[in-house]
Amino acid sequence: MGFPAQRPRRLRTTPAMRRLVSETEVRPRQLVLPVFVREGATEPTPIASMPGVVQHSRDSLRKAAADAASAGVGGIMLFGVPEHHDAIGSGATDPDGILNVGLRDVRAEVGDDLVVMADLCLDEFTDHGHCGVLDEQGVVDNDATLEVYARMGVEQARAGAHVVGPSGMMDGQVGVIRAALDDEGFHDTGILAYTAKYASAFYGPFREAVNSQLKGDRRTYQQDGANGREGLRELALDLEEGADMVMVKPGMPYLDVLARIAEVSDVPVATYQISGEYAMIEAAAAQGWLDRDRTILEALTSFRRAGADVILTYWATEAAGWLD
């Protein structure tokens, strides 16, 4: 019985050897920190289902942005948590609404040291929790919602967003927002299209994070988790409409979709390690069932290996410290 001529283990013998031949690297510049800023908050409010994540006050938001920039993180994505909700999400287009105020605060704090991004969606602001305005039958009205998105995008650009992230999965949203930004002279404001956003159970903790008022579900506009090719169709449409970057969300349950989109996209591809993914790892680590730090880095590496250029993760600032 002969011995094997091929011994792949030779390339795994020492840490230096493994580092030398490693195929995939995660760097701080590739990470984006999602943050929540709560209207009226005077101090950070912990989110029970997301240990270590908070609803920020305006002051703590500025500190979080400064810490991220110091750690070498690439960007920050803001979500607003308003005190009041209404049927049309009017706080989203209010120049003095919490999200736009937060954007101004962050730009004042970090300038261009971070790419400042804004979630462009109505779900945090509506009293029904849907991502758009409803018609008389209680169904999300796609085209009426686009008109609000256009105004929302312009206000976010005025507030200082380098990039707006339309996440509502309305047909035509990228094109309408691009036209509105250009009409107002915001030619350099980028659009991160939530190209393949799935109706997922993994969003659960996010509902607490934004005090969601959701009634029902979002399956009539977010993608069906059983569909992969559909993401490629959405990609083609978003690119045609002028997307500067594209997103797959959630992350780990849809690595196959991420890989397929990354293979054909000619713009940078992002993915979002969402609240449920975060909560699972934190909960298992708290029980001693997982090595927390190793698990986080393995998950981040999986996104990069699948083709992500940008990763939105609640561990961005912490992980950046490990990576450097």
Mode of pairing for the β-strands spanning 163-166 and 54-56: unpaired
Is 197 among the catalytic positions?
Answer: yes
Asked if residues 235 and 270 have their Cβ atoms less than 8 Å apart, the reply is no
Exposed (0-12), middle (13-18) or buried (19+): which is 52, by Cβ within 10 Å?
Answer: exposed
Exposed (0-12), middle (13-18) or buried (19+): which is 208, by Cβ within 10 Å?
Answer: middle
Cβ neighbours of 312 (radius 10 Å):
25
Q: How far apart are CA 116 and CA 126, in angstroms?
A: 24
Question: What's the number of CA atoms in the CB half-sphere (13 Å) around residue 309?
Answer: 13
Cβ neighbours of 83 (radius 10 Å):
11
Cβ neighbours of 289 (radius 10 Å):
10
Q: What interhelical angle do 58-70 and 316-323 show, nearest 10?
A: 20
Asked if residues 148 and 92 have their Cβ atoms less than 8 Å apart, the reply is yes
In 3-state terms, what secondary structure has residue 273?
coil
Choice among 58, 62, 249, 260 that is catalytic? 249
Residue recorded with tokens 């090719």:
229
Choice among 197, 218, 260, 304 that is catalytic? 197
Question: What's the number of CA atoms in the CB half-sphere (13 Å) around residue 278?
Answer: 24
Q: Where do runs of H (alpha helix) occur along the chain?
A: 15-21, 58-70, 98-110, 142-159, 173-183, 204-209, 229-241, 255-264, 275-286, 292-306, 316-323
Is 215 among the catalytic positions?
Answer: no
- The residues annotated with a catalytic role in the active site are 197, 249
